[in-house]
Amino acid sequence: MTPAPPLRLTRLRLTDFRSYPSFEQRFAGRIVAIAGPNGVGKTNLLEAISLLGPGRGLRGAKAGEIGRRAGGAPALPWAAFGAFEGPEGLTEIGTGTSGEPGAEKARRKFLVDGEAAKSQAEIARHAGAVWLTPQMDRLFQDGASGRRRFLDRLVWALEPGHAREVAAHDTAMAGRNRLLAEGRRDAAWLAALEDAMARHAVAAVAGRRALCQRLNLLLAAGTATGAFPAARLDLLCPIATALDEAPALAVEDRLRAALAECRGRDAAAGGAAQGAHRSDMELVHLPKGLEAALCSTGEQKALLVSVVLAHAALIGAARGFAPLLLLDEVAAHLDQTRREALYEALACLPAQVFLTGTEPDIFAPLADLAEGFWATPEGLRPMSHGVVPGAAIR
């Protein structure tokens, strides 16, 4: 796979974003290491960067939850601005909310070079990011919904329309559940909702299935993951299995008929037994032939790093530029050998990388390779030890 040119964030400016009343910082390095104690806002900075691309960012927060809360007051309107250098030259992207503090349905808006963006797909043409956060450490111990959201974020990064399919499916399903719970058996209304569920479920699962197939080719080859273990993503879903054997329209017909047949059972159970919401994901450690849930915590982290590195390469090939890579406390649960393997992979990856950690010494192998900062509640200051400030990647 031919490496894509990197996308670079050269300036970040925030207003009333999470813990920051105001913030502005320029970045020169291709690898940016940010160290500092817990609670100073390191993750907030990565979240702000993630929100400059399509989607709801690395926390998945609603727009009205992001604004700074001064002294317990309602959340303020917020803004994030980034200046990027990419294959198409310089681009400025802004996003945020307006209106009264504490608005429950605050609507987020985007600007590209000062003009209102027409769609999330337009944003995806100019910027994007992939990430790994500590919350993902429990991905294989918690329920299927978390794994499904993780997989959907991977699909969304490549196919912005995927989010619409998932949302439309869930909306139709909620309407059907409500009718069944109320005992209303309006056949025409239920049939319309089941038709929407079937169409959007098959589309959503097809997107997940295609992403797994594309990622698995890269993961098996190992060309994008360096010394990290080869892995395989398995989509556990009856609809995906059906798509292996029949055309999408035939699978839609079967699902539509199954939903109609199971109305009584679903009413008693309080929800649909079939649909896109029943998908799960399994990650397999190929060299060991072991499911991630049975691997050690360190091995699980290594597998997730493999997936994120391969996904970054996949986005780069698909979009023509490598996305930003945001790694929050990534060294946690990685031993020294894997940590050094990660840094070696990042040095070769054609992408700008932002890393955070509590101790600067953990970034010592990146000396002379990264631009380093020490995080404080007020902002960032150049690091005076551990990572050479302002150094350029060789």
Q: Which of 102-111, 227-236, 245-254, 376-385 reaches the highest mean pLDDT?
A: 245-254
Residue 391 lies in a domain: yes
The sign of the CA dihedral 213, 216, 221, 226 is positive
Residue 8 lies in a domain: yes
Residue 45 pLDDT level (bands cut at 50, 70, 90):
very high
pLDDT for position 392 = 35
Is pLDDT above 70 for 391? no
User: Based on the domain organization, do 285 and 361 belong to the same domain?
Assistant: no
User: Based on the domain organization, do 220 and 347 belong to the same domain?
Assistant: no
Q: What is the pLDDT of residues 157-191, one digit of tens each?
A: 888 789 889 999 999 999 999 999 998 778 999 99
Is pLDDT above 90 for 116? yes
Q: What is the pLDDT of residues 297-326, one digit of tens each?
A: 888 988 998 998 899 888 888 877 888 999
Tell me how crowded residue 359 is: count the other CB atoms within 10 A of its CB.
12
User: Based on the domain organization, do 283 and 306 belong to the same domain?
Assistant: no
Structure-model confidence comparison of residues 100 and 178, the more confident one: 178
User: Based on the domain organization, do 80 and 186 belong to the same domain?
Assistant: no
Is pLDDT above 60 for 123? yes
Which residue, 315, 335, 339, is CA-closest to 327? 339
| Count of domains for the chain | 2
Residue 150 lies in a domain: no
pLDDT for position 388 = 45
233 three-class SS: strand
User: Based on the domain organization, do 9 and 123 belong to the same domain?
Assistant: yes
Residue 205 lies in a domain: yes
Q: What is the pLDDT of residues 249-292, one digit of tens each?
A: 999 999 999 999 999 999 999 999 999 999 999 999 999 999 99
User: Based on the domain organization, do 8 and 123 belong to the same domain?
Assistant: yes
Give the angle 382-388-389 at the CA atoms, nearest 5°. 30
Q: What is the extent of the structural domain holding 306?
A: 1-140+295-394
pLDDT for position 389 = 44
pLDDT for position 120 = 77
Which residue numbers belong to the known binding site for ATP? 36-43
- Domain boundary residue, one of 277, 293, 309: 293
106 three-class SS: coil
Residue 352 lies in a domain: yes
Residue 13 pLDDT level (bands cut at 50, 70, 90):
very high
User: Among 121-125, 146-150, 253-257, 325-329, which stretch is predicted with the lowest mean pLDDT?
Assistant: 121-125
User: Based on the domain organization, do 331 and 289 belong to the same domain?
Assistant: no
The helix or strand, by DSSP H or E, that contains position 94, with its residue range, turns out to be: strand 89-96
Amino acid 208 reads R
Give the domain CATH number at 239: 1.20.1050.90
Q: What is the pLDDT of residues 312-365, one digit of tens each?
A: 888 888 877 888 999 999 887 788 888 888 898 888 887 899 999 998 888 988
Burial class of 105 by CB neighbour count within 10 A (0 to 12, 13 to 18, 19+) = exposed
User: Based on the domain organization, do 304 and 283 belong to the same domain?
Assistant: no
Give the residue-averaged pLDDT of 45-53: 95
Give the residue-averaged pLDDT of 92-112: 85
User: Based on the domain organization, do 196 and 287 belong to the same domain?
Assistant: yes
User: Based on the domain organization, do 258 and 371 belong to the same domain?
Assistant: no
Is pLDDT above 70 for 390? no
Is pLDDT above 70 for 102? no
Is pLDDT above 50 for 386? no
Which residue numbers belong to the known binding site? 36-43
DSSP type of residue 6: B
- Domain boundary residue, one of 236, 268, 293: 293
pLDDT for position 90 = 92
Which residues 6+ apart lie within 8 Å of 243 measured at CB? 202, 205, 206, 209, 251
Structure-model confidence comparison of residues 105 and 253, the more confident one: 253
User: Based on the domain organization, do 212 and 276 belong to the same domain?
Assistant: yes
Is pLDDT above 70 for 385? no
Residue 104 pLDDT level (bands cut at 50, 70, 90):
low
Residue 239 pLDDT level (bands cut at 50, 70, 90):
very high
Give the domain CATH number at 347: 3.40.50.300
User: Based on the domain organization, do 377 and 247 belong to the same domain?
Assistant: no
Average pLDDT of the chain? 89
Tokens 């790694």 correspond to 327
